[in-house]
Structure 1
Amino acid sequence: MLLLLLGLVLFLGAHSVRIVADGWRASTIAAIGEKPWKGAYSLVSIAGFVLIVVGFSLARQQGPHLLWPAPSVWTRHLAALLTLFAFILVAAAYVPGNAIKLAVRDPMVLGVAVWAFAHLLANNTEVDVLLFGAFLAWAVTDYVAAQKRRRTEGSTSAQPTAAVPKSVSGTKTVATIVVGAVAWAVFAFWLHGWWIGVRPFG
């Protein structure tokens, strides 16, 4: 559990700098340069991610500590559906010119929130609640902070504050949905069982 906690602190801490210390972040980038900042940020994030994966696996091997009775079967189906939406949202962050990104502005963060919430619905162990609860809390906080920052910056500058498409394409929106759905299917039916050790569909 200690490794998982350390990983969460490193990974989510690195991704929370702009939420809690945006001014310090800006001054540090100005002082050392954008590339060194991105390099340090990436190293801390990778280290945190590795610790999360290893720590989560070790914690599950030590035996589940149940916090409440096993969720009903329907929660697994709902979680699978929500996770599909999460994959589509993440895809929307990378496919240019899609309507989803224009509508939600921060599809990656929103996708993480939906993914974490879905897994909280279908799991009842201490380690699951710690992992997915931490990601859900971070995602909601980051999404709210981004919206607030965008409104503040938008009121003081004529420049756009987020890289959203000025125009959208129906074809690219459909492509976003297809890419997200295919990625979800590959992960749900094959990679999830191989990587996590749990098969969502039996």
Structure 2
Amino acid sequence: MTLLVLGLVLFLGVHSVSIAAPAWRDAQVALRGEKAWKGLYSLVSIAGFVLLVIGYGAARQSPIVLYTPPTWTRHLALLLMLPVFPLLIAAYMPGRIKAAVKHPFLVAVKLWATAHLLANGTLADVLLFGGFLAWAVADRISMKRRAQRPLPGAPERPMNDLIAVVVGLVIYGVFVTWLHRWLIGVQPLP
């Protein structure tokens, strides 16, 4: 469990610098340069991600059950996951979806985390998915108070929404039928 917590602290911590200390982040970029900051940011992110993956995998070997979700919540989780991949893609494909949702990436993270909290009830699940949910909520609130940096992405085109939905749903289908089991070891379909 220690590796999971350490990984979450590193991964979500570095992703929270703009939330908690935007002036410090800007000072570091000014001092070190954009490329050096992004390099350091990436290294800490990767280290945190690796630790949380290893820690979550280890915690699943000896689960501490906090609650047992009813079976129907797995079906609800599958439904909540349906827009996640289209929203992730829409975050980088400007169009009507991005304009309507404003922050599709954060909405996708919130849906993903909520779906998994509904379907899983171990301490590791609550730490992992609850941590991401709390981070996404905090980030969305902070975005109302700080200037937004532009995200890299495709140019705005009318087809972007269609691309985001079609490609996102294809990824969802592949993930639900095969990739989730291969990567995570859990088959989401009954």
Query: Shared fold (TM-score greater than 0.5)?
Result: yes
Q: For 1:195 and 1:166, how far apart are their aligned partners in 2?
A: 32
Counterpart of 1:185 in structure 2 is 173
Question: CA offset at residue 147 of structure 1?
Answer: 2.5
Q: For 2:141 and 2:124, how far apart are their aligned partners in 1?
A: 26
Counterpart of 2:137 in structure 1 is 140
Q: For 2:97 and 2:37, how far apart are their aligned partners in 1?
A: 30
List 4+ stretches of structure 1 deviating above 2 A: 161-168
Question: CA offset at residue 113 of structure 1?
Answer: 1.1
Q: For 1:181 and 1:148, how far apart are their aligned partners in 2?
A: 33
Q: Does 1:87 align with 2:85?
A: yes
Counterpart of 1:109 in structure 2 is 106
Q: For 1:128 and 1:59, how far apart are their aligned partners in 2?
A: 9
**1:199 counterpart SS class:** coil
Taking structure 2 as the reference length, the TM-score comes to: 0.93
Counterpart of 2:161 in structure 1 is 173
AA paired with 1:176?
A: A
**2:169 counterpart SS class:** helix
AA paired with 2:95?
A: N
**1:72 counterpart SS class:** coil
- Aligned pairs (5 A) from 1:1-202: 1-62=1-62, 64-68=63-67, 70-95=68-93, 97-150=94-147, 162=150, 169=158, 171-202=159-190
AA paired with 1:81?
A: L
Percentage of identical aligned residues: 53
Structure 2: tracts of 5 or more residues without a match: none
AA paired with 2:83?
A: F
Question: CA offset at residue 168 of structure 1?
Answer: 5.4
Q: Indicate conservation of the 8 Å contact 1:4/1:56, yes or no.
A: yes
Q: For 2:185 and 2:155, how far apart are their aligned partners in 1?
A: 42
Alpha-carbon RMSD: 1.8
Question: CA offset at residue 167 of structure 1?
Answer: 6.0
Q: For 1:28 and 1:71, how far apart are their aligned partners in 2?
A: 44
Q: For 2:10 and 2:101, how far apart are their aligned partners in 1?
A: 27
Structure 1: tracts of 5 or more residues without a match: 154-160
Question: CA offset at residue 162 of structure 1?
Answer: 4.7
Q: For 2:95 and 2:2, how far apart are their aligned partners in 1?
A: 41
Question: CA offset at residue 54 of structure 1?
Answer: 0.6
**1:91 counterpart SS class:** helix
